[in-house]
Chain A
Amino acid sequence: MSQLVAQSIVSGLLLGGVYGLVALGLALSFGVLHVLNVAHGELLMLGGYLAFFAFTNWGLDPFVSLPLVFIVMFGFGVLLYLCLFRFVTRTETHTRIKNSLLVSFGLALVLQALAVRFFTADERTISTAYSSEALTVWSIRIPVVRLAGLVVAVVAALALEWILSRTRFGKALRATSEDWTRAALTGIDVRRVYLIAFAVSAALAATAGSMVSLGYSVSPGIGLGWTLKALIVVVLAGLGSMRGIVVAGVALGLVESLASVWIGGQYREVTALVLFLIVLSFRPLGFFGRARA
């Protein structure tokens, strides 16, 4: 295998880690609340800007500001739920998805426009002292700032898995995700579950955004692209399934980079989209998903 291909593969895997991270959040909001938040990518964008300004204005290293970004955007997620998505969840699942699609699309427009206004359309990247550091394995360059994205993704996925399977609240989350009526009858405060799940989903998106502004770049218009990526990963992993999200994300990154080597970088995104459509038509539940009652 040539040097170029190997490097491309590794880059794809690293990017795939971030795909997985952003998808975790979407899987949470979609899996638990059954809403499709098209503005998920905009939340990533906002998180990226938050990390960026924390770095340039206060000198906070992005890893140091990570908890800050998480908490602030968790709060923003709470706000969005209370002001907006709460009303969408009042309806049954079928209309819920349609309404949330529309409402969040309006939200995405608004957030993106505000970002252009206040942050300008310039691309931003966090440049730390170690931004150009890289591990070199068999003459393949692994930039540290991009490896970080994959590491954070894996840690987040493990943490989420642990919460879902070991804690009481996690089980309540799974129960609500399966059937909110039955969850309510079990004594679970469904609105509180929704609130927390949504806020965490926003915080996860923002965390991904932090990694994106460190290892790649952020600008106001990146939202839709990231939402689509997250959507593709969630479908690949199986709608409604939390397991295998990071794996699916890495797989997507891999496919994209292979495509860019063989077909050309211009068609990188197109390949991902076409793959998505193929998986969607054969297995709407993805590779890992199980049919739910």
Chain B
Amino acid sequence: MLEVEGLEVAYGDLQVVWGISFQVPRDSIVAILGPNGAGKTTTLLALMGLLPIGAGSVRFGGEDLVGLPTHQMVDRGIVMIPEERAAFQSLTVAENLELGAYTPRARTVYDQTLAEVYEIFPRLAERRKQSAATLSGGERQMLAIGKALMARPRLLILDEPSLGLAPIVVEDIFGVIRRIRDRGVSVLMVEQHVEMALEVADYAYILEMGAIVAQGSGAELEADTRVQEAYLSL
């Protein structure tokens, strides 16, 4: 569904991503893992058109995405949840969800989607009139995901979904991610929490210093001794 080839991204003169290639097939969860500073978030931002792409191609369902304005990508169903507090603090829960369905495509099924989101996250329904700034960390993440779902994504991109969350909340979140995949949405996620990510991912890539050093299914990588030593503290 998403095919990235030879992606190069630079910050001014500083090359951060050195020609990486990866895919996100339909109905699957793909993880990009790696240490801090590896270029994971940079890759995502470049995908979404928020950073200039130096070279490489990005195709979604066959369509070339490079150069497309961010809001049009959202309209095509590519929705990214940025790291930490993706919701708007100055708006209420309900307003955030309402804005989530900003694109024309999502607006047509607004009521239906809203009902679905409140079903997946009953706590958001309880707090719908509250300002997003008053939510707990876990609830904010739920709101962020709920808001993203309002846009009716075909591909959901998550930047460090587990960051700053208590372990039990992380379990819940990953459970939700599985449910989302099961409903026919592809997921691309960048994670630092390698162990949990490998358990939930169908396929994963390890990114170090802007290049892919390993890839394979979740099970394969879990069994890989290099990965075990470097990331799984076994």
In the complex, chain B residues whose CB is within 8 Å of the CB of A172: 99, 102
Instruction: Tell me if B89 and A178 are in contact (CB < 8 A).
Output: yes
Tell me if B151 is interfacial: C-beta within 8 Å of chain A: yes
The one of B81, B86, B106 that contacts A187, using a Cβ cutoff of 8 Å = B106
Tell me if B57 is interfacial: C-beta within 8 Å of chain A: no
Residue of A with least CB distance to B75: A187
Instruction: Tell me if B88 and A178 are in contact (CB < 8 A).
Output: yes
Chain B 62-98 near chain A by CB (<8 Å), digits 1 or 0: 0000000111001100011110011011110001001
In the complex, chain B residues whose CB is within 8 Å of the CB of A120: none
Residue of A with least CB distance to B76: A187
In chain A, positions 167-186 with a C-beta closer than 8 Å to chain B are: 168, 171-172, 174-175, 177-179, 181-182, 184-186
In the complex, chain B residues whose CB is within 8 Å of the CB of A68: none
Chain A 95-116 near chain B by CB (<8 Å), digits 1 or 0: 0000000000000000000000
Shortest CB-to-CB span from B81 to chain A, Å, is 8
Instruction: Tell me if A186 and B74 are in contact (CB < 8 A).
Output: yes
Question: Interface residues of A toward B: which range?
Answer: 20 to 34
In the complex, chain A residues whose CB is within 8 Å of the CB of B99: 168, 171-172, 175, 186, 188
Shortest CB-to-CB span from A212 to chain B, Å, is 32
In the complex, chain B residues whose CB is within 8 Å of the CB of A168: 98-99, 102
Instruction: Tell me if A188 and B71 are in contact (CB < 8 A).
Output: yes
Instruction: Tell me if B82 and A175 are in contact (CB < 8 A).
Output: no
Tell me if B100 is interfacial: C-beta within 8 Å of chain A: yes
Complex Cα distance A210/B66, Å?
46
Shortest CB-to-CB span from B116 to chain A, Å, is 18
In the complex, chain B residues whose CB is within 8 Å of the CB of A189: 69, 71
Instruction: Tell me if B48 and A185 are in contact (CB < 8 A).
Output: yes
Tell me if A190 is interfacial: C-beta within 8 Å of chain B: yes
Tell me if A117 is interfacial: C-beta within 8 Å of chain B: no
In the complex, chain A residues whose CB is within 8 Å of the CB of B74: 185-187
Tell me if A94 is interfacial: C-beta within 8 Å of chain B: no
Tell me if B50 is interfacial: C-beta within 8 Å of chain A: yes
A293-B106 contact given A168-B98, A185-B74, CB 8 Å threshold: no
Instruction: Tell me if B98 and A171 are in contact (CB < 8 A).
Output: yes
Tell me if B42 is interfacial: C-beta within 8 Å of chain A: no
Shortest CB-to-CB span from B41 to chain A, Å, is 12
Residue of A with least CB distance to B81: A185
A186-B102 contact given A171-B95, A181-B50, A181-B82, CB 8 Å threshold: yes
In the complex, chain B residues whose CB is within 8 Å of the CB of A190: 70-71
In the complex, chain B residues whose CB is within 8 Å of the CB of A181: 50, 82
The one of A179, A187, A293 that contacts B102, using a Cβ cutoff of 8 Å = A187
Complex Cα distance A171/B82, Å?
20
What are 21 sample pairs from A and B whose C-beta atoms fall under 8 A apart?
A: A168-B99, A171-B99, A175-B88, A177-B90, A178-B88, A181-B82, A182-B88, A184-B48, A184-B49, A184-B69, A184-B71, A185-B79, A186-B147, A187-B71, A187-B74, A187-B79, A187-B103, A189-B71, A190-B71, A191-B69, A293-B89
Interfacial residues, chain B to chain A (CB-CB below 8 A): 48-50, 69-71, 74-75, 79-82, 85-86, 88-91, 95, 98-100, 102-103, 106, 147, 151
